[in-house]
Structure formats: structure tokens, C-alpha cells
Chain A
Amino acid sequence: MSINLLPTERAAIHHEGVECGETLADQLRYAITATLGPLNPQPDVQEVGAICFGDVQPTAAAKKVQETFAEKARVSPIDFVNANPGASLSIVCTELQLRGPTLHFLMGGDAVRETALILAFRWTTEESAEVVVVAEITMVNGRRALDITLVRRRGHNIREVFIYG
């Protein structure tokens, strides 16, 4: 079972050593901005959707909630909302004002990648979105990699890979 990504400019451009902050949200925002930026004309942000998946989830924030609750019988509201798996995607949508459909998968792998692309093609075809950012997040040798595919209603799809750290 496979998805035909063509027509796609499969330019795997490695942005090695990009330092733009320590959080996943910062890195995700940079990758999305860098990939969307060259599009001409620019898509309406109301019609830009995003799907995130991979093996990076906010475990540290969830652990902090658990430990603080166990030790102090308290929960920080900030830690609680940051422990939401979709928090990074939400932050990026807020900063870039993206109002397309959004989804966050709790896992990575071929099946989820395929599912994400099916959704992206569907959303662009049914006109829920002009562009859908499909972001796969993985750790490669201790460094975070963001594999970004822009699925577009019109024009070529675009793929870029960002490696941080």
C-alpha cells in the first residue's frame, strides 16, 4: 500500500544546525515558515492545515504534571496545557494564524504517514484547505528532524527536511 506523492518536488534539503530555540514549537514554526514562505502566491492562512506525527511527544511536561501532583498535590495550569500532545501544533497555529484542519497523531511509522497524506490530499481536494503541512517528527542520532511535506491544492507538492541541533 503506498501513496503516490507525485507531482512532488522531493527536494530533501537538510537545514543542518539551525538554531531557532529549544522547543518543538519553535522548530516546527521555523520549518513551516521556511517551507511556506517561498510559495507565490501565498496561501490564505485560513486555508492552511497541519498534521503532526512522529515519536516525539510532550513527555517531559506530562511527567512534570505527574511529579508535581505527587509531591505537592498541585497542578500548574501551564504544565497541564503544555502536556497536551497537540500543544506545539496549537502554538504554531496561533502564531501563524493557521485555521485549516489540524491533527496530531500519537505515533509515527509508515501507516500514520500514509494516513496523514490521505487526510491532506482529502482536505485539499474537498476544499477544506489550500495547503496542508504534513510534519513528521523524528529523532536521528539525538538530533530532532522535521520532515515537512506541503500538500497543495494547486501546484507541486513540496518536501523539505530540517535537522536541528
Chain B
Amino acid sequence: MGWETPLGDDIATVWQALLDGASGITFVPCPVKIRNERAAPVSSLANLGPRERFTEMVRRAVGRALLNAELRGSFGSGEVRTALVIGTSHGARLDDPISIAEPPDAWLRGIAADYDFLPIALSTACSSGADAILVGAALIRSGLFERVVCGGADVLTHAKRKAHSTLGTMATSELRSFDVNRDGTLLGEGAGIVVLEPECHLHPSSALGFVLGCGAANDAAGLTAPDRHGRGVKLAVRRALTDANLDAQDIDIVNGHGSGTPTNDVIEAAAYADIFQTKKPILFATKGAFGHSLGATGALEAISVIQALRDRKIPPIVGTSCRLPECTLPLPEAGCQIQGARFGLSTTIGFGGFNTAIVFGGTEA
């Protein structure tokens, strides 16, 4: 696994920062008037323009994921058929004149060529990162690829911030996932990459976790509005559970989308209340720490779930102090331990009604 986040780029260091309740959200000037100038940038790349920053985040996260998987030097030989599946919402296309003139997958082709990987680019708004993992898992299961490097990436830009400010989805103060006082989201940027391989190819000690099941569903409710009854979220989760051959009561932890918008969080919380009626898994969210990184968020959250299952700890939800009444799942306190947890769920919800859920298993699952 590898990531570029507003809290850094080393898996262990960033994970500890999450456990410590740190946040990468800070003051980021915007040349036009917006509701809130707070956002979560990857500060090490602040001197680059949107197109270069976006591509560099993907390149770095892919490189780090391969390094962490100890896969250096094994590319280009054609021995291991590998796909590079990356999702993004807009990337740099809303702000950068060169990006808009290029094919929409141009940013990925150069990176894939460096490794002799087959590039596949997709976009399902804020579910893009999770959908890339869904596609990666399907390609592995098909037997056509022995390895898939997959995840999501997105870049913080002025036009996106202005758009969310105008849409009214931007918070006036803090991002408060599943909180009574939430009033919107704050944007971030980053990239998250995981390396998938068939279980039969893995050395038992090298696996960090398992993708057990994936599910998706469309809300069929419009370009921005979620389904008021949460049908899309519930369908996606239930399809993922079916694919994993698990029941809701098997899930120990849930990483929610938790965008912090008034509508999304109440619908998502109510959906979980309906799905998890007997055993209540712990619900956590990382957007208070990473900001809402749009196309990257599903991948960053997938890595967070795998880390939680490995470390048996769950980070607190930054910015949240008073839980929504519709939220029946327990939220983690600082220092939350999850001894014995085996299965985790990550859910993402995107504009256009794209809902995706992935069930992960820990190495002792």
C-alpha cells in the first residue's frame, strides 16, 4: 500500500497521526471568494500546478506502494501481467488548460508506461478510488491478471473549491462527520494505492489484508442529490456482503463516507442503522483528518480499514463531538482498541449516485 496525504506519505507515520487525532486541514488561500478557505493540501507538492501535482501524487503513491510490497525491479519483463487501475473525479481538468486538451486518461498512460503496466482509468466521482479497487478485485478474480495496482487520486483546485462553495456543500467552519452540528465538507487531495494479488500467489507473511467482497449500486436520484431513503447505500453494502459471503453481523468496523454534509451523513447513518440491526460495528471516518479528497477518498479509506484491522486500533473522528441521533453505530473514542476484529467495511458515496462498498478481511480473518 502507498499513499500521499495531507498528513504525509509514510503508511505507519500517517496512521499514527490519524490515531493521535491529527488533521491536515489548514488555511489554504483561494484567489476567489469562497465560504471557507480551510482545506487539506499535500503541502510537499504545493509549488506545483494542478496537472503536475495530480500526476506526481499518483506517481509517488504507486512507487511507494510497489516499494512497500517489495516489488522493485520486477517490471517490464512481462512475467507478471499487471494492470494499473486508477480512479479520479475530475483530476486537473477543471483548472488546467493542458489537461482539458489531452485525452482524459493521458495522466495515467505515462505512469503505466514507466512500469509496463496496462492502464485503466475510471471516474465515478467520489467513489472513484473504491471503484478502482472493485475493478482490480474483479480482474484478479477473472484470472486474467496476476497483479493489479489500483486506487484513487485527486487534486485540490480553485475551481473545485469554488464549485463546492457555490453548491452549498462546503462547511462554514469544520468538517464534522456524523455530527449533529455538521454543515458541510472541506476539500482535500491525495492518492491511495493498493497492490492486489491472488491469495494463492501470496506468501502468508506478506499479505496486509484481503478484499473479500465488493458491491455497487446507483441511487437513481440525480446528479448531486442522494436517494433520501439510502437505497443505493444499502444495496451496495448488501451486495458487498453477499459477494464476501458474510452477514452484516460479521462486520466489526465500518469506515463511512462521512462527508459532513447535512444530507449525506443522515442518510448514510440511517442506512447503517437499517443494515446493522443486531451487532453494531464501530463507525469511523477520516475526512476530518484528510479532508474530502474526492476521487482519492475511497482508496485512502480502504487503506485506513486495512490498517485498523492490522493494528487493532481505530482513529477518532476529527471534528465530531456530538453524534447524530440517526447514527446508531458507536463512534470511536481516542485510543479505541478493537481486539478480535476480523472484518471491515468501507463505503463511498459519489455525485451521480455512485455508491460502492468493499469488505476487507484482516490477515487472521
**With A69-B159, A75-B159, A75-B162 given, is the CB distance from A102 to B216 under 8 Å?**
yes
A33 at the interface (CB under 8 A from B): no
A63-B97 Cα distance, complex, nearest whole Å: 8
* B-side contacts of A69, CB under 8 Å: 32, 94-95, 158-159, 162
B338 at the interface (CB under 8 A from A): no
A126–B243 touching, CB < 8 Å: yes
**With A99-B218, A102-B216, A107-B103 given, is the CB distance from A86 to B95 under 8 Å?**
no
Which of A34-42, A111-119, A138-146, A152-160 binds B? Answer: A111-119
B163–A94 touching, CB < 8 Å: no
Residue of B whose beta carbon sits closest to that of A129: B239
A12 at the interface (CB under 8 A from B): no
B220–A98 touching, CB < 8 Å: yes
B196 at the interface (CB under 8 A from A): no
A100–B94 touching, CB < 8 Å: no
B144 at the interface (CB under 8 A from A): yes
A99–B123 touching, CB < 8 Å: no
* B-side contacts of A102, CB under 8 Å: 124, 216-218, 353-354
* A-side contacts of B350, CB under 8 Å: 86
Interface flags for B182-209 (1: CB within 8 Å of A; 0: not) read: 0000000000000000000000000000
* A-side contacts of B104, CB under 8 Å: 57, 59, 85, 106-107
Q: Which of B121, B123, B138, B224 contacts A81 (CB 8 A)?
A: B224
Q: Which of A75, A86, A114, A115 contacts B123 (CB 8 A)?
A: A86
A127 CB, nearest partner CB in chain B, Å: 7
A22-B225 Cα distance, complex, nearest whole Å: 24
Q: Which of A65, A81, A98 contacts B159 (CB 8 A)?
A: A65
A106–B135 touching, CB < 8 Å: no
B221–A94 touching, CB < 8 Å: yes
* A-side contacts of B167, CB under 8 Å: 77, 80
A98-B33 Cα distance, complex, nearest whole Å: 38
Q: Interface residues of A toward B: which range? A: 35 or more
A99–B219 touching, CB < 8 Å: yes
A15 at the interface (CB under 8 A from B): no
B352–A127 touching, CB < 8 Å: no
A8 at the interface (CB under 8 A from B): no
A21-56: which residues lie under 8 A (CB-CB) from chain B?
45-46, 49-50, 55
Residue of B whose beta carbon sits closest to that of A79: B163
A135 CB, nearest partner CB in chain B, Å: 14
A64-117: which residues lie under 8 A (CB-CB) from chain B?
65-66, 69, 73-77, 80-87, 89-91, 93-94, 96-107, 111-112, 114-115
- List 10 additional A-B contacts (Cβ < 8 Å) besides A100-B218, A101-B218, A107-B104: A59-B100, A62-B100, A66-B93, A66-B100, A69-B159, A81-B351, A90-B218, A93-B220, A111-B120, A126-B242
Question: Chain B: residues with CB nearer than 8 A to chain A?
Answer: 31-33, 83, 89-90, 93-97, 100, 103-105, 118-125, 131, 135, 138-139, 141-142, 144, 158-159, 162-163, 166-167, 215-224, 231-232, 235-236, 239, 242-243, 350-354
Can you spell out 12 A-B residue pairs with CB atoms less than 8 angstroms apart?
Answer: A59-B100, A65-B163, A80-B163, A84-B223, A94-B221, A94-B353, A103-B122, A104-B123, A105-B122, A107-B104, A111-B83, A115-B138
Question: Chain A: residues with CB nearer than 8 A to chain B?
Answer: 1, 45-46, 49-50, 55, 57, 59, 62-63, 65-66, 69, 73-77, 80-87, 89-91, 93-94, 96-107, 111-112, 114-115, 118-119, 122, 126-128
